[in-house]
Amino acid sequence: MTDFTDNIQKVFSFDNPSIALGSIMHDGAVHAEVQAKIPLAMMNRHGLIAGSTGTGKTRTLQLLAEGLSRAGVPSFVSDVKGDLSGLCKPGVVNPKILERLAGTGKTFTPEGFPVEFYSLTGNRGTQLRATVSSFGPILLSKVLGLTSTQQSVLAMVFKYCDDRQMPLLDFTDLRDVLNYLGNEGKAELKDYGGMSPATVGVLIRKMVELEQQGASKFFGEPELDIHDLIRTTSDGRGIINVLSLSDVQDKPRLFSTFLMWLLGQFYFDLPEVGDADKPKLVFFFDEAHLLFDDASSELTEHIVQVARLIRSKGIGVFFITQTPKDVDQDVLAQLGNRIQHAVRAFTPQDAKNLKATASTFPTSEFYDIGKTLTSLGTGEALVSVLNPKGVPTAVAITQIFPPSSVMGAADDADYNRVIAASTLASKYATAIDRESAHEILQKKISSAAQATAQNAAPSAPSRGTRQAVPVQEKSVLAEVLNSPVARQVGRQAARTITSQVLRGLFGMLKR
C-alpha cells in the first residue's frame, strides 16, 4: 500500500495551478491525501470524458466547468438534456453527496456560478444564429444529410454566390438562388458546371424539412460573435456559457454540426497564443458521437485538423461520449486528458468495446484496466492526465468530487432570472434582414423584365431631376441610420464584405 501511495502521490505532486478532480482510490479505499488533478495549463491540450449512461460523465463535466470558472477561464457547455442548467444555482447537500465525499477529506460548499444561457430556437436562452454563408457547404451538407454529389452541387452554389458577392444569410436566400440557377439562371453556371432539376428539388425538400423542425430561427443575423463567449465577471470568474439543447435534442445533426461550426469560428478568428498559463476558453462537446456518425471523409478530415491546431489558439476541447470508439481515431490521438467512467459490458459487442477502451490507457502495475472499467461505481473514474510537461500520468482510480452547484435542471424562475440579467440577450434578440441574395436576385429579375419591356416599346427620354430632401426628412433619416438596429446591420454587412474572399475549413468563410 505504501508503494502505491508513494508512487501515485509523485504522479500528481505538481504545484502548478490545477483543477482537482477527486481523491485517489485503491483496493476500495479512498486516500484523501492524494488528489488527482489537471494542470490548468494543460486544459487546452484537449480531453475525453467517457462512460456508460448514468456513470457520472455529466457531473464530471460540471465539476470541470466550475473549476475553470473559479480560475477565471470561461467555458462553453452543450446541455443536451437540460441537467447542466443547475450550474447557476448553489447546490444542496444530501446523503448521496455526503456518501460521495466520505473519506476524501473534502467538505461540501454550495456555490452558484456565472452562467449565460443560449438557445438555437430562442426558447431557453439568448437566440444564437449563424448565416448560411458562414456555415459553409460541407457543414450544411451534414445538417441536410446530403450525398457527396449533392454536396458538390451545394459547394458550386456557394462559389457562385461568393463570386458575385451575394450573401446567403438565411434559407430564403439559398432557396431563391437554387430556383434561379435551376431555371432562368442556368446559363450563368457554364463556368461552374451544371445541376439537374432533380438535385435542386432534393436540396429544397431537405431545406423545407429542416425549416419545419425550427431551423429557420437559427439561420440568419445577427450572427454570434464568438468573443461574447470569452468573458469573465467583474470579480474575475469565468462565465459558463450553457447552450440549452433540450428543445432540439431530436435534431442531433443540427446541434452537433453547429458546435463544429463554432469551433471553426474560434479556429479562424482567434490569434495564435502558444503555450499559455491557462486557456482562453474550454469547449465541452457533449454527445460527440453525433458529430462523427455518417460524417463524410472530408468533414472528418477537417475535424481532425481543427482538433490538432485549435490548441494554439488557447482553446481546449473535451469530447463527452460513451466510449472512446465513438470518436475518430485521429481525433482521439489528440486527447491527452482522459477521464473514463464505468463501462457496462452486457453483449459481445460491449465486450469488444471494453477491450478497445482498455487498450487506449497506459498500462498500470496497480490496476487491471479491463476489470477495473467494469467494476467502477457511479462517480468513480479511471484518470490519466497530462502533467505540466505534457506527459501522460499513470492511471489512477479516482473518487470524483461532487459539483458545488445544483446537479440537475434549473427551474423556469432560475432561467428567467439569468436571462433577465444578461447583457447579451438584447443584442441578439431582434433578427436582422438586410440586403442579401434574395433582394439582389429580385432586383436582377426586375431589371431584366424592364429591359425586355423597353426593347419591346420605345421609351420617352428621361426628364427627371434630382429632388432635394427636406431638412425634416433628413433628420428622420439620420435618426434611423443611427439606431441600434441600423448599426448592427452595418456591422454584419462589414463582416460579410471583409470575409467575402476565402473559404477555408468546412467551406466556411474566413473572417
pLDDT tens profile 135-163 = 999 989 988 989 989 999 999 999 999 99
| Mean of per-residue pLDDT scores for the chain | 86
pLDDT tens profile 84-114 = 999 999 999 999 899 888 888 899 999 999 9
Using CA atoms, how far apart are residues 171 and 153, in angstroms rounded to an integer? Answer: 16
158 and 507 in contact (C-beta within 8 Å)?
A: yes
DSSP letters for 327-363: S-HHHHTT--EEEE------SHHHHHHHHHHHHTSPP
pTM for this prediction: 0.86
- Helix, strand, coil content of the chain in percent (nearest 5): 45, 15, 40
pLDDT band per the 50, 70, 90 thresholds, residue 171? very high
Q: In this structure, which long-range contacts are made by residues 104-112, counting pairs with CB atoms below 8 Å and at least 24 apart in sequence? A: 104/22, 104/23, 104/30, 104/32, 104/399, 104/401, 105/23, 105/32, 105/33, 106/23, 106/32, 106/401, 108/402, 108/404, 109/404, 110/404, 110/405, 111/66, 111/404, 111/405, 112/87, 112/88, 112/405
The reported pLDDT for the residue numbered 2 is 58
Beta-carbon count within 10 A of 177 CB: 24
The reported pLDDT for the residue numbered 28 is 79
pLDDT tens profile 17-26 = 999 999 998 8
The reported pLDDT for the residue numbered 397 is 92
pLDDT at residue 472 tops 80? no
- In this structure, what C-alpha cell is assigned to residue 360? 487506449
pLDDT at residue 470 tops 90? no
The mean pLDDT of 375-390, rounded to a whole number, is 92
Choice between 144 and 456, residue whose per-residue pLDDT is larger: 144
pLDDT at residue 306 tops 60? yes
pLDDT band per the 50, 70, 90 thresholds, residue 497? very low
The reported pLDDT for the residue numbered 466 is 40
pLDDT tens profile 269-299 = 999 997 889 999 999 988 888 888 877 788 8
Judged by average pLDDT, the poorest of 2-11, 236-245, 439-448 is 2-11
CA 107 to chain centre: 34
The mean pLDDT of 434-450, rounded to a whole number, is 89
pLDDT band per the 50, 70, 90 thresholds, residue 459? low
The reported pLDDT for the residue numbered 511 is 60
pLDDT tens profile 332-345 = 999 999 999 998 87
Choice between 295 and 377, residue whose per-residue pLDDT is larger: 377
| Phi and psi at residue 248, to the nearest 5° | -130, 20
